[in-house]
Structure 1
Amino acid sequence: MRNATLKNSIYILVSCSAIAWLSLAYINDIDLSKLKDFMGLVPKVVSIDLLLIAVFAKWGWKLKVFRGWLVPFPNLNGTWLGYIYSSWTNPATGEKPPKIPVMLTIEQSFFRFSCKMRTTEMESISYSESFSIDTDRQIKNMSYSYSSRPRLSLSERSAIHDGTIVFNIIEGASKKLEGRYWTERLTKGEIVLNHHCNELMEDFPSNIEEHPVTEVENKR
């Protein structure tokens, strides 16, 4: 799948370059059979190619017409809402903490994406992201490693730590991310998110379920 996408990208770039060359030659009445005239158009053709690449990388890749054969990964831009289900067990009671409301914002372009996750007690930011897309093997995952920072008032009982999340991308009538996480504090669990909107929200929506600030949340 990856090789086919790369091959298609090269074909399109070569085709666009050829069209640009012929168009510029026609407009400026240039004889392309002369090497000097032919090479003289190189800077302009390269500029056109770079402009097309920039437009495609910023907006064009989101169009459904390119999905699959040219753009292997889905558009995940926006705000995702859901819950964290921690596998941590309170040693005093033997009980697991309640589900934790969480908000994930994803900012994505053709070349990269970044993730920011928030709960009532912490904020985590990704520093290494990747897609794993293979339709032949029915694999459609996105993953990232992150650094999690608790609120300053909670620093004494919740240290800064790193972790990794792997999401299974589910598309259809409603987009969903289902995944698992683990941290360097030897905690782990599951996360289920639904796509909420295309905007990058900076705070929880007013209608999301309120979750009390408790110590067990820091065991995520």
Structure 2
Amino acid sequence: MWGLLGWRAQASFLVFASALLSWAIHALDGLFRSELGPLDVAGLSVTVLVSVGAVLASLSWRWLWEHCPVLERVVFPDLNGEWSGTVESTWSPDTATPRPDPIHVTIIITQGLFETHVSAETLRAESESTRCIVERTKGGRARLWYSYETKARLTHADGNPPHTGVAWLEMAVDKDRERLVGGYFTDRKSTGDIEIRRTQAL
């Protein structure tokens, strides 16, 4: 969710947090030296309130999203869950060879207020995200970008070395919040399409 804030909002928040931390440190110094003034008390109070607020927001945001559906449209949808579907590669060794059949994939998305993680499993390989970014498209779709590392299962390791890639998944929030579609490309110059549906909420 942090990524939905523009760079100016992020910079302002970091400046505010830095000033607040400095204020709190000064107040703690005064507390230990028994020279606590009104400003020091205010600094400690604000720091405690902001810290508690951040913790509560991190713990309760999903409850808020569940009871205020408008937040899914205005901010970003809750993507937490197990998603199942297919991955269809566009790779083919030559024009005469048909593309491989779509393969089944299970994707688990763990989304927090400040961090998102994606893992995927097929019969041949497993992958883990290394970085995730959430954004809203100009058309109002919710989009999740993530880079990932893939390792083949031992039974399919021959001729299938570890590789990295980037994938994106989009949701038409106003139409179907249980479906994600997108694509991927890898450092092996392969590309493909992804289509999944949520099968279990987490």
TM over 0.5: yes
Contact 1:62 1:75 in 2 (8 A): no
Tell me what 2:71 maps to.
67
Aligned to 2:101, the other structure's residue is in SS state: coil
Aligned to 1:164, the other structure's residue is in SS state: strand
* 1:105 pairs with 2:108: yes
Larger displacement relative to structure 2 (168-177 or 79-88): 168-177
Aligned to 2:56, the other structure's residue is in SS state: helix
1:68 shift after superposition:
6.1
Aligned to 2:37, the other structure's residue is in SS state: helix
1:72 shift after superposition:
2.0
1:154 shift after superposition:
2.5
Tell me what 1:123 maps to.
126
Larger displacement relative to structure 2 (57-66 or 175-184): 57-66
1:41 shift after superposition:
3.8
Tell me what 2:152 maps to.
150
Query: Could you report, residue by residue, the CA deviation over 1:64-110 in whole angstroms, capped at 9, with x for unpaired residues?
Result: 337169x7221101100000111122549611111100000011101
Tell me what 2:51 maps to.
50
Contact 1:90 1:97 in 2 (8 A): no
Matches within 5 A, 1:1-220: 2=5, 6=9, 36-60=37-61, 62-64=63-65, 65=68, 67=71, 72-91=75-94, 94-134=97-137, 137-171=139-173, 172-199=175-202
Contact 2:171 2:177 in 1 (8 A): no
Query: Residue 181 of structure 1 aligns to which amino acid in structure 2?
Result: Y
TM-score under structure 2 length normalisation = 0.73
Instruction: Write the distance in 2 (CA, Å) between the matches of 1:93 and 1:124.
Output: 30
Q: Mark the CA change 1:108 to 1:174 in structure 2 (over 3 Å): closer, same or farther.
A: closer
Aligned to 1:42, the other structure's residue is in SS state: helix
Which segments of 5 or more consecutive residues in structure 1 lack a partner in the other structure?
Answer: 14-34, 200-220
1:121 shift after superposition:
1.0
Which segments of 5 or more consecutive residues in structure 2 lack a partner in the other structure?
Answer: 17-35
Structure number with bigger Rg: 1
1:176 shift after superposition:
1.0
Query: Residue 63 of structure 1 aligns to which amino acid in structure 2?
Result: L
Tell me how large the CA RMSD over aligned residues is: 3.0
Contact 2:145 2:166 in 1 (8 A): yes
Query: Could you report, residue by residue, the CA deviation over 1:83-141 in whole angstroms, capped at 9, with x for unpaired residues?
Result: 0111122549611111100000011101110100100110000001101214x543431
Query: Residue 43 of structure 2 aligns to which amino acid in structure 1?
Result: V
Instruction: Write the distance in 1 (CA, Å) between the matches of 2:142 and 2:129.
Output: 19
Query: Residue 85 of structure 1 aligns to which amino acid in structure 2?
Result: E
TM-score under structure 1 length normalisation = 0.68
1:39 shift after superposition:
3.2
